[in-house]
């Protein structure tokens, strides 16, 4: 997958490019206003009359169909979450695979989870790519995606959104400004409305494991409150230091007691501060969590940057991956908690 930072960085494009937490400035709205948590939850589930299906999303909009949708098209990460709850989709859009053109192979990207990428129609694999023709050919019953800013549809291109939204109802679930358990619950409600058995042992056991991992992270943070964690994302020219105040994961980690670095000069959306590599040491940290998406440079690619190599956390080997766009199933979120807990448990104070 090409580096998304090569894209012209509109407000929404910067978000996709991975700035700071991989989240950029405010997105251009693609829909109506958002509802409150209580409003969003109130409409979840199947319709009660005439066998119709309804689901009220986090914009406060109600998607409706005569029967429970079967031809589902979803953002890749959302499709991966639905898969874990037992719901399969026909098509996906967003980062799905990493292509090795020399070998002629495609391997699932980090946001594809356990999806079989050979069994879904990939409508677009990079920012701005969405085949309306392929989408229409699938005869979609519903389109589902994330929402990073109120009213936005993640990875639905602005230039073609009107054509896309005419073809089927759409659902947007919040991916920011709510803590991880709340966002997980909304995905449970959506999956249930689509026919998933969310009371099955697979789901309830996964939820129990998630709660156990949360308790472990809380204990680790309580035992080492002095450990400062910085969340970052790297490009060739800039190092983005993320605010923990908006993403669902860091909001939850803060609730559990994790001591995060908060940058002081945030972008207009409140997501991150971009630093030149000469200033990468502005915010001392004991543990650095690095954006794990293909659009961001990974630690191995930063070895040639002397200012990076000199950071105390780097020298101490206390750099860990950060799942910037979680797959919102209990199964996939549990390792995120466990990995951060382990990083804090093993960390020493170096900054």
For 120-129, how does the pLDDT look when each residue is reduced to its tens digit (9 = 90+)?
Answer: 999 999 999 9
The string of pLDDT tens digits covering residues 153-188 is 999 999 999 999 999 999 999 999 999 999 999 999
145 pLDDT higher than 50: yes
Residue pointed to by tokens 């989240």: 23
Average pLDDT value for residue range 55-82: 97
Q: Does residue 45 surpass a pLDDT of 70?
A: no
CB atoms within 10 A of CB 244: 21
Q: How does residue 51 score in pLDDT terms, banded at 50, 70 and 90?
A: low
pLDDT score recorded for residue 150: 87
* More confident: 104 or 236: 236
What does pTM read for this prediction? Answer: 0.85
pLDDT digit string, tens, across residues 285-321: 999 999 998 889 999 999 989 999 999 999 999 999 9
d(CA 239, CA 19): 8
* Residue 29 phi, psi dihedral angles, 5° rounding: -65, 145
- Domain extents for the chain? 30-196, 204-346
| pLDDT higher than threshold 60 for residue 21 | no
Please state which CATH number belongs to domain 30-196. Answer: 3.40.50.1980
Q: Between residues 12 and 329, which one has the greater pLDDT?
A: 329
The pLDDT value given to residue 258? 98
Residues 221-240 have pLDDT tens digits of 999 999 999 999 999 999 99
Cα separations (Å) of 185 from 44, 85, 168, 174, 351? 11, 12, 24, 11, 37
pLDDT at 294: 82
Q: What is the pLDDT of residues 93-103, one digit of tens each?
A: 999 999 888 88
Say whether pLDDT at 49 is over 50: no
* DSSP string computed for 7-59: S---HHHHHHTBHHHH--SPPPP-SSPPPPHHHHHHT-S--SSTT-EEEE-TT
Q: What is the mean pLDDT of residues 31-60?
A: 57
User: Token pair for residue 293?
Assistant: 């998406």
Asked if the model's pLDDT at residue 31 lies above 90, the reply is no
Superfamily of segment(s) 204-346 = Nitrogenase molybdenum iron protein domain (3.40.50.1980)
HSE toward the beta carbon, residue 220, CA cutoff 13 A = 25
pLDDT of 107 above 70: yes
Per-residue confidence (pLDDT) for residue 16, from 0 to 100? 52
Say yes or no to pLDDT of 25 above 60. no
327 burial type by CB count under 10 A (0-12 exposed, 13-18 middle, 19+ buried)? buried
Burial (Cβ within 10 Å: 0-12, 13-18, ≥19) of residue 120: buried
| Mean per-residue pLDDT over the chain, rounded | 87
Predicted confidence (pLDDT) per residue in 252-281, tens digit: 999 999 999 999 998 878 899 999 999 999
pLDDT > 90: what percent of the chain? 78
Q: Do domains 30-196 and 204-346 have the same CATH topology?
A: yes
For the chain, the C-alpha Rg in angstroms (whole number) is 20
- For residue 239, give the nearest of 289, 312, 176, 177 by alpha carbon: 289
Which residues sit opposite 241 in a β-bridge? 232, 273
Please give the structure tokens belonging to residue 209. 């494991």
Dump pLDDT digits (tens) for 201-216. 999 999 999 999 999 9
Answer yes or no: is pLDDT of 47 > 90: no
């Amino acid at each position: 997958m090409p580096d998304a930072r090569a894209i012209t960085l509109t407000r929404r494009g910067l978000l996709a490019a991975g700035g700071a937490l991989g989240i950029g400035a405010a997105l251009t709205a693609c829909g109506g206003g958002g509802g409150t948590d209580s409003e969003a939850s109130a409409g979840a589930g199947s319709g009660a009359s005439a066998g119709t299906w309804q689901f009220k999303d986090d914009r406060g909009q109600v998607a409706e169909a005569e029967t429970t949708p079967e031809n589902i098209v979803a953002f890749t990460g959302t499709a991966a979450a639905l898969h874990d709850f037992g719901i399969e989709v026909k098509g996906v859009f967003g980062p799905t695979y990493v292509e090795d053109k020399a070998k002629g192979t495609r391997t699932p990207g980090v946001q594809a989870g356990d999806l079989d990428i050979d069994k879904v129609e990939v409508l677009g694999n990079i920012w701005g790519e969405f085949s309306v023709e392929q989408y229409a050919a699938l005869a979609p019953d519903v389109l589902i995606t994330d929402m990073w800013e109120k009213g936005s549809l993640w990875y639905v291109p602005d230039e073609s959104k009107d054509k896309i939204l005419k073809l089927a109802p759409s659902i947007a679930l919040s991916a920011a400004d709510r803590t991880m358990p709340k966002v997980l619950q909304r995905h449970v409600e959506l999956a249930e409305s689509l026919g998933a058995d969310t009371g099955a042992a697979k789901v309830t056991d996964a939820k129990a494991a998630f709660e156990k991992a949360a308790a472990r992270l809380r204990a680790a943070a309580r035992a080492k409150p002095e450990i400062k964690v910085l969340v970052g994302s790297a490009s060739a020219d800039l190092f983005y230091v993320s605010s923990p105040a908006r993403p669902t994961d860091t909001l939850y980690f803060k609730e559990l007691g994790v001591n995060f670095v908060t940058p002081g000069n945030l972008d207009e959306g409140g997501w991150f501060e971009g630093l030149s590599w000469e200033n990468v040491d502005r915010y001392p940290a004991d543990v650095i969590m690095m954006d794990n998406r293909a659009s961001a440079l990974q630690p191995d690619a930063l070895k040639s940057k002397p200012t990076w190599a000199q950071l105390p956390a780097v020298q101490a080997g206390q750099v860990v991956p950060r799942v910037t766009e979680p797959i919102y199933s209990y199964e996939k979120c549990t390792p995120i908690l466990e990995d951060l807990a382990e990083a804090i448990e093993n960390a020493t104070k170096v900054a």
